[in-house]
Chain A
Amino acid sequence: MKKNMIRLGSLLTAIVFCSSSWACTGDSTRHEGGDAATAVTPDANNAGLKLPAGFGALKIIDNIGRPRHIVVNSKGEVYIKEFRLKDGKGIYLLRDTNGDGKVDTKVGFGNYNGTGIVIKNGYLYASSDEEVFRYKLDANENVIDTAHPEKIITGLKKGRQHETKSIVLDDAGNIYVNIGAYSNSCQEVDRGKGSKGIMPCPILDSAGGIWRFKADKLNQTYGDGTRYATGLRNVVGLDWNTQANQLFVMQHGRDGLFQMFPEYYNEKQSAELPAECLYALKEGDNAGWPYIYYDQQQKKKMLAPEYGGDGKKSVDDKYIDPVYAFPGHLAPNGLLFYTGNMFPEKYRNGAFIAFHGSWNRAPEPQKGFFVAFVPFKNGKPSGEWEIFADNFAGKEDIASPGQAEHRPCGLAQGPDGSLYVTDDTKGAVYRIVYKK
């Protein structure tokens, strides 16, 4: 009798489980991953996201503070870096213990605000706005001692704006850190109407670029590192492309062409320009901020109005070109090259970009609040960009970014090939999956 009850129970469970076609993939690996199929069930209406056919999404957790960047370990457990401390903690480990995709337990640690978080070679690296720490991981990629991280980089410049530090590692023992320029366009009066640019821009000695440090050396500061690339106003989304063996970064382009120089630009031009640029960097590269900006409509590098430009004077010199240019002000906060097997072939090695959404398009409607995709071949863009995951904002017309319900920020790939997206407004973490 008891046996029969158990059998009946199992049958009922199977029926309930299989009533969702998503669950019946016959994949027994579940959350352990490694297989192209997935057992997690998307939320009703894909948690509000609009996705291409065949994709589904679930919120693995909601209201978990203001998560910025995110990384998933080899067991499918999620680490998020909080922009501001949530209940006194700056990092959370999120665990799904029963394999339904939803977070069941969370462990908070770290007492600093920040953005960057990444796993590499047995360590979890995380950044505050002035420092980078690392935590040794055990065989399950769990932090061994949450209370005593090693401080590997310290004393980084933190201005009032563009203060966050994004991090990524290469395969040669180096860590790359963005140090954002604490200015819009290096004017004598920051964001002052008609104010001239300072020549040369003094900010570039210690900010407005990517610095490279050793991944395993303690207490490094400016003198121990190298200014790897300069002329980058602010980078939040960055990733190492393993096919090209190269650092790729998304720059946040300058604001206020019309507000600062209405004699050269109208409001519509100012809403679209300059481009949000994807750069492939080599050591010593200069992307040209604050002296130039990239105009994606003319496909030219333009002299900035603070430095004698008028919207027409282009420059062709030592500054690098972007490998891809998006419309202005969309605010790229996450970049991820997809190397998983779950998504269809066209996504393999391509770039996902989380656009946080604009503010500097006003009075034009705001744009962004989506995850975009650009296909890549052999480490180079091979097609046009498209919106991959949309409707984070929860409605069509967003006049002001405060009206957006969610704003995508960080991206990560799970061991099974799922794509994770953080929302730093309401604290949702999304997991996007594909069903064959």
Chain B
Amino acid sequence: MKKTIVTLSFILVCTVILFAQANSPAASKVRGKKVYETYCLACHQVDGMGVPNMNPPLSKTSWVTGDKTKLIQVILKGFAQSVPIDGEDYSNNMAPHNFLKDQEIADVLTYIRSSFGNKSSAITAAEVKAVRAKTK
């Protein structure tokens, strides 16, 4: 009986640790890099510097390091407005990426917010879910 309790406890602890790791910002960032390479890199480039006049940089821009809701909405709705980004115009349209799962969006945003010289906090799947529910 005692043995069973120890075993069960061990399994429980392991599960908690694994679960915690899977949802740690570090693990999210690792997964986010893969998402970035698949869906973002072609335009925003390997160094996150974007393309002058065409695709905005992700490095040290207020759109990436600032308000999470606004950033999550760019992924969900794309970007096709004539709005200057930190004073510069960028011409290429970004298609909506709402086909990505909440966790994938959280991962890729966690990645870009902590890469290319950025040092902003992680974004969770729950935060993406909440914004998605309010975004039409």
Contact = CB atoms under 8 A, between A and B. Distances in A.
Interface of A: 83, 160-163, 183-184, 189-193, 195, 256, 258-259, 359-360, 362-363, 399-403, 425
B80 to A, nearest CB: 7
B45 A359 contact: yes
Interface of B: 37, 39, 41-43, 45-47, 49-55, 57, 78, 80, 82, 91-96, 99
Contacts of A195: 95
Interface centre among B41, B42, B54, B99 (most CB of A within 10 A): B42
B97 to A, nearest CB: 8
A256 B42 contact: yes
Nearest to B95: A192
A189 B91 contact: no
A403 B51 contact: no
Contacts of A192: 95-96
A191 B92 contact: yes
Contacts of A363: 37, 41-42, 46
A403 B47 contact: yes
Nearest to A160: B91
Contacts of B92: 160-161, 184, 191
B55 A359 contact: yes
Contact of A362 (B45, B80, B91): B45
Please report whether the interface of chain B is mostly helix, strand, loop or mixed according to DSSP. loop
Given A189-B96, A190-B80, A400 B49 contact: yes
Contacts of A162: 91
Contacts of B41: 362-363
B51 A402 contact: yes
Contacts of A193: 39, 95, 99
Given A401-B51, A401-B52, A160 B82 contact: yes
A359 B95 contact: no
B49 A190 contact: no
Contact of A399 (B45, B55, B82, B99): B45
Contacts of B42: 256, 258-259, 360, 362-363
Contacts of A161: 54, 91-93
A34 B77 CA distance: 58
Given A160-B80, A256-B42, A399-B45, A425 B93 contact: no
